[in-house]
Amino acid sequence: MVRAVDRVYTRLRADILDGVHPPGARLGEAELAEITGSSRTPVREALRRLEVEGLVEVLPHRGARVPDWTPEDLEEIYDLRMLLEGAAARRAATRVTAADTGRMDELCRLMEEAVEPGAGQDLDRVATLNAEFHDIIRAAAASGRLVSMLNAVVQLPLVMRTFHRYSPADLARSSAHHRELAAALLARDGTWAESVMRAHVLAAKAVLLRTARTPNDPNDPNDPNDPNDPNDDMETRTG
């Protein structure tokens, strides 16, 4: 039988990741207890677990809320993620199995299909496939401590629906990084894998910082803040 706290935790986590509770939303215990059909005790415990994962912040005398990240927060989180993901990729390179690299190759193909422009484009599916791709690397790293630290910073892209912020050029770059990561791991080259992973995370950070500072749609060809616009010069972009 599923414990009440586990059921509440699963429901709240899914709602946060799905945007039911967007960044900045207040998470009142009484309201959440009513929504989840439970008492406040399991809600309180579920919020503590979500706080450890970085999906909730609890403010003294103000209760809990979904974090509303500033550009400075995003930069710090992604710098930490770069170091941790890079270390995981280096460790995974000497521990990954043939089944792992085979699945990663398949995931690359599926992600490339899902980002193709048109009616069939499915960026939410890309996010799901991407999570599995990175999960394989973390599991192959075989370090409980490293994975525990990573869990505190890898939820952010899901909450912020990162792939919906990507321009076509950003999506192409991400796909290329995935292909190169798979190749580095297949070659069992830890230095290569770590280098590509760091570049991959830094590129994602650049997208989030760009879109966090400008409300424009990154897929809008008329976006004056799009750094991929060939008609835009450096002086104009940097002010």
| 35: CATH | 1.10.10.10
> Do residues 128 and 77 share a domain?
yes
Domain that holds residue 110: 71-213
User: pLDDT, tens digit, for every residue of 129-155?
Assistant: 998 999 999 999 999 999 888 877 776
Q: Reduce the DSSP state of residue 50 to 3 states and report it.
A: helix
* Separation of alpha carbons 49 and 45, rounded Å: 6
Report the CATH number that the domain containing residue 108 is assigned in CATH.
1.20.120.530
**152 falls within a domain:** yes
User: pLDDT, tens digit, for every residue of 52-105?
Assistant: 877 899 888 888 999 887 888 889 989 999 999 999 999 999 999 999 999 999
**For the chain, percent of residues with pLDDT exceeding 90:** 59
If one counts every other C-beta atom within 10 angstroms of the C-beta of residue 190, the result is 19
Distance of CA 20 to the CA centre of its chain: 17
> Do residues 112 and 185 share a domain?
yes
Instruction: Quote the number of domains for the chain.
Output: 2
State residue 226's pLDDT score.
Answer: 43
> Do residues 175 and 138 share a domain?
yes
**237 falls within a domain:** no
**34 falls within a domain:** yes
**226 falls within a domain:** no
> Do residues 42 and 99 share a domain?
no
Q: What is the pTM of this model?
A: 0.74
Q: Reduce the DSSP state of residue 26 to 3 states and report it.
A: strand
Lowest mean pLDDT among 1-15, 51-65, 131-145, 217-231: 217-231
- Angle, helices 71-93 vs 190-213, to 10°: value is 160
β-partners of residue 65 are 26, 57
